[in-house]
Amino acid sequence: MPRLALLTSGGDAPGMNCAIAAVTKVAWGLGGTVVGVQDGYDGLVAGRWSELTRERIDGIWHWGGTILGTARSETFRTADGRARAAERLRQDGVDALVVVGGNGSLTGAHLLARETGFPVVGLPASIDHDIACTSWAIGVDTALNTIMEACDRIGDTAWSHRRCFVVEVMGRQCGYLAMASAIGTAADAVLFREQGKEEAELVAELEAMLVRAVRERGKKRILVLKAEGVQIPTARLCDQLQAAADAAELGIGVRYTVLGHVVRGGAPTFRDRLVAGRLAHAAVWAVLAGPDDVRAQAASTGLMAGWEPREPGGIDTPDRSVQLFALDDVLAQTDALLDGSHPTTKARVKLLGAVQGVLSL
């Protein structure tokens, strides 16, 4: 009877529990069993895992977070720690490992496969949407909906008090949440790291936008989305904007809200449930029912299941919306996504540049 191990790692993302339930059920359908590893790679090294039963996964489909927990592991960062983890898995009769997580988690999965030959397949889960070879990561849609709801509520008080609000959202290395939220919330401006602008330039642009919005358009509600990866502190930015508004006698107050970790929580949306379930199906197929060359790839470099990827070179699965990519390729292209050289990043920045003037209308 085939046996899988499953762990969630890195920052939690809505939809992780959907992936846990889906992996377990698909494995059951193929005659296998699944053990859930507690606390990510830390639990993997320590051997903290137990059978995922119907009682454990029943009802978790709509829960945020992850029932398996997540934690950093300094031991797993070492080759010896990864070797110990692989040996524990083999001793317990585990045939393959499924890792649900982001960039760092997938890096660990790749190293485990490459160094020990243990089959690994990853599911991209990151609200920052900072993973290549997938057009959607688990948790992104829920995070965007949470941001939009928060901004809608903030907009109500902004209208009532004639205020400009700067809303900071997560996205340390990737500004996707700020970019997409700016469109979805009808924001007046958006700041993200990939713009590559210095503080003085950003402030000058926002000050000019603020004056136009109030004097020319008579706006009472002004909304600015800011990714946390933009180096200027949000409080300092607001102080400068308030000083500019006062100097121009605009009669408008400037406030800020840092949404922070609230964006990570909550019940996953339909899209996140769908994507998690279908990625899970392809991942289990890859290591339990896929052809020999696919399973060999899982044991040599590790694989990741990607949702409707734009990058070439993927391996087809029974789900035509999901392809598998070697983890070394995923990680290389993710580096390009984050340093700005990837076509996807260039397209995002170009699009936002083209509509910047439209946002404040």
Q: What is the mean pLDDT of residues 114-121?
A: 97
| pLDDT band per the 50, 70, 90 thresholds, residue 303 | very high
- Band (pLDDT 50/70/90 cuts) for residue 172 is confident
- Residues of the chain above pLDDT 90, percent: 87
In angstroms, the CA 360 to CA 86 distance is: 54
In the block, residue with structure tokens 């990058």: 311
Give strand pairing partners of 303.
121, 326
Amino acid at the residue 289: A
The reported pLDDT for the residue numbered 314 is: 96
For 361, other C-beta atoms within 10 Å of its C-beta total: 11
- Which pLDDT band holds residue 256 (cuts at 50, 70, 90)? very high
Asked if residue 305 lies in contact with residue 286, where contact means CB atoms within 8 angstroms, the answer is yes
Split at pLDDT 50, 70, 90, the class of 7 is very high
Reading the block at residue 227, the tokens are 């990714």
Q: What is the DSSP string of 58-102?
A: TTGGG--S-TT-----TTTTSHHHHHHHHHHHHHTT--EEEEEE-
Of the candidate CATH numbers 3.40.50.2000, 3.40.50.450, 3.40.190.10, 1.10.287.1260, the domain formed by 3-139+268-339 belongs to 3.40.50.450
Give the whole-number percent of the chain exceeding pLDDT 70. Answer: 98
pLDDT of 360 strictly over 70: no
Contact yes or no for 19/126 (Cβ under 8 A): no
| Bridge partners, 96 (sequence order) | 4
pLDDT digits (tens, 9 = 90+) for 179-204: 999 999 999 999 999 888 889 999 99
Structure confidence at residue 136 as a pLDDT band (50, 70, 90): very high
Active site residues: 128
Residue 356 pLDDT exceeds 70: no
**Banded pLDDT at 349 (limits 50, 70, 90):** confident
Of the given ranges (79-93, 297-311, 345-359), which has the lowest mean pLDDT?
345-359
Residue 164 gets which letter from DSSP?
E
CA distances, 66 to each of 17, 18, 224, 285 (Å): 5, 9, 32, 23
Residue 93 scores a pLDDT above 80: yes
CB 43 within 8 A of CB 159: no
CATH 3.40.50.450 in the chain is located at 3-139+268-339
Which residue intervals of the chain bear CATH 3.40.50.460?
Answer: 144-264
pLDDT tens profile 263-297? 999 999 999 999 999 999 999 999 999 999 999 99
Would you identify the CATH topology of the domain 144-264?
Rossmann fold (3.40.50)
Q: With a cut of 80, say whether residue 298 has pLDDT above it.
A: yes
The residue-averaged pLDDT of 48-66 equals 96
Quickly state the pLDDT bin for 357 (edges 50, 70, 90). low
First to last CA, the chain: 62
Q: Are 136 and 268 in contact (CB under 8 A)?
A: no
| Mean pLDDT estimate for the chain | 94
Distance separating alpha carbons of residues 156 and 62, to the nearest angstrom: 29
What pLDDT shows up at residue 72? 84
Task: Please state, in angstroms and as integers, the Cα–Cα distance from residue 293 to each residue in 130, 169, 290, following that order.
Answer: 28, 42, 8
**Does the pLDDT of residue 219 top 70, yes or no?**
yes
Query: Mean per-residue pLDDT for 33-43?
Result: 97
Residue type (1 letter), 57: I
Confidence of residue 171 (pLDDT cuts 50, 70, 90): confident
Model confidence, pTM: 0.94
